[in-house]
Amino acid sequence: MSDTQRLAVGDPAPAFTLPDAQGKPVSLADYAGRKVIVYFYPAASTPGCTKQACDFRDNLADLAESGIDVIGISQDEPAKLAKFADAEGLDFPLLSDPEKTVLTQWGAFGEKKLYGKVVTGVIRSTFLVDEQGTIALAQYNVRATGHVAKLRRDLALD
């Protein structure tokens, strides 16, 4: 498998502006001075991605209480993101990156193993960007189930 350029703790978080589920532009710069979890997922309304998004939804109040916002990014079009958000009651921004530009910049698109085969696609990844716009946590190839609980432990929120 070839190495996709990956971000590491201490790297500056690559800037982005992407449309949300309503087509409104959302920028990483909108979160300057706050901590934000940026997570990348393969596809809205699939079982694993739904589980992960609902876990973030269910932990959103606790994360916000700790001063952490959440943004989800996939290659889905805004209309599909809107349907996903409505169906699952997701009340945090879901951003659309159909050209995979931001996914690639963050190392969340490239070769991965899927059912024992090497394929090219979205690498389920999660990052914590600190108040200064620096990567404070970088996790690649995360599991959808139990990920938010592990993240809370990693960030010492429990």
6-50 pLDDT per residue, tens: 999 999 999 999 999 999 999 999 999 999 999 999 999 998 899
pTM for this prediction: 0.93
111-123 pLDDT per residue, tens: 887 778 888 889 9
Question: Please, which residues bridge with residue 80 across strands?
Answer: none
Q: Taking the alpha carbons of 100, 102, 108, 110 in that order, is the dihedral positive or negative?
A: positive
Residue 4 is given by DSSP the state P
Active site residue ranges: 49
Residue 79 φ then ψ, to 5°: -60, -40
